[in-house]
A and B are shown apart, each in its own frame.
Chain A
Amino acid sequence: MYKNILIPTDGSELAGKAVQHGTTLAKALGAKITALTVSLPFHVFTFDTGMVEDTSTDYKRSVQERTEKTLAAVANTTKAAGVQCDTVHVQHEHPYQAIIDTAKSKGCDLIVMASHGRRGVSAVVLGSETVKVLTHSKIPVLVHR
């Protein structure tokens, strides 16, 4: 039976639904939740509009604010359901790798994630990070739609 469920979230609406679904599952199984947000390190040369417009300090502040808001929302959801939850923020070039590494370091036995995140707009195509997690994960992955 799953004991520690990793739920990566980027704060998007669909990720929020995956958090809700993962919380319900964790409650039913008596499992705990490890909620994770991953942010990209600041780059001077980038196509990311946030990084192009911001200075390093501004970028860090906005990432910090978004992370706190996202993880607080997860903490509220899990608290309301009476499920134990740890929150983790990781900065990594490759979000999928951060997800897999965190699952390993925190001893998670299931990953619950949305079919696509902030970047995905199509309901047909899977998010690129979801595909990479599915491909490289050695533990079960529940893709929420």
Chain B
Amino acid sequence: MAYKVLVAIDSTGLSELVLTSLSKQLVPDQAEVLVLEVVEPLLYTAPPEMSPGYQPEMAARRKERREQAKRIVDSAVEVFRKAGFKAEARVSEGEIKDGVLQAAAEWGADLIVVTSHARKRVAKFFHRSVAQAIVHEAPCSVLVLKELARKVVAA
């Protein structure tokens, strides 16, 4: 039975790190890959009288973000398929941690791969690490690729 690997990517440019790392480490006929990007909902505040005017613009932005995410996951899936993997793409909307964990549970992932951004202490205080939150609650093993490991993985 194929080892199911859920690859959670984002649009920060670390996707390249994930792809380089994984395509070298997994055996195509033994692993099945799901590439997922969870798009966070757009949050905005506006006075009620402005909402009607803002609504179409926000809808267009949401669509644009989903399309951008779709392009990213599709190109990632293409890399895996070219390397001989059975791979599929998925884009969902919601909180990143919840989206990744839900997809992992539904799909029955054996391994979740995430990247961790090297935030400074103050930034970390305000933006709790999503990667760490996923590791905390994941039902399976989690591989955390560090941003600073880019050179190590590429070597």
Tell me the nearest residue of chain B to A141, going by C-beta: B144
Is B149 a contact partner of A139 (Cβ separation < 8 A)? yes
A137 to B147, alpha carbons, bound, how many Å?
A: 10
Contact segment of A35-43, A52-60, A123-131 = A123-131
Q: What is the distance, in angstroms, from A117's C-beta to the closest C-beta of chain B?
A: 15
Contact with A along B1-32 (1 / 0, CB 8 A): 00000000000000000000100110100000
Judge whether B132 and A140 touch: CB under 8 Å. Answer: no
CA distance A142 to B155 in the complex (A): 19
A33 to chain B, nearest CB (A): 15
**Inter-chain contact A134/B145, CB cutoff 8 Å:** no
Chain A residue total in the interface (Cβ 8 A)? 23
| Cα-based distance from A124 to B129 in the complex (angstroms) | 17
Complex Cα gap A58–B24 (Å):
48
- By the criterion CB–CB under 8 Å, are A135 and B132 in contact? yes
A140 and B144: CB pair below 8 A?
Answer: yes
Contact of A145 among B24, B118, B132, B139 (CB under 8 A): B139
- Do A145 and B140 touch across chains, with their CB atoms under 8 A apart? yes
Interface residues of A in 92-127 (CB under 8 A from B): 109, 115, 124-126
What number of B residues sit within 8 Å (CB to CB) of A? 26
CA distance A62 to B2 in the complex (A): 43
What is the minimal beta-carbon distance from B122 to any residue of chain A, in angstroms?
A: 14
- Contact of A142 with B21 at beta-carbon distance under 8 Å, contacts A125-B136, A126-B135 already known: no
CB of A69, distance to nearest CB on chain B (Å): 26
From A1, A28, A29, A134, B135 is in contact (CB under 8 Å) with A134
Bound CA span A109–B21, Å:
12
Q: Name the contact of A143 in the complex, choosing from B27, B135, B145 (C-beta under 8 A).
A: B135
Contact A131 B132 (CB under 8 A): yes
Is B25 in contact with A140, judged by CB distance below 8 angstroms? no
* Residues of B114-155 whose CB lies within 8 A of A: 116, 118, 129, 131-132, 135-146, 148-149, 152-153, 155
B residues engaging A (CB < 8 A)? 21, 24-25, 27, 116, 118, 129, 131-132, 135-146, 148-149, 152-153, 155
A–B complex contacts, Cβ < 8 Å, 10 sampled: A1-B25, A109-B153, A131-B132, A135-B132, A140-B149, A140-B152, A143-B135, A143-B142, A144-B141, A145-B142
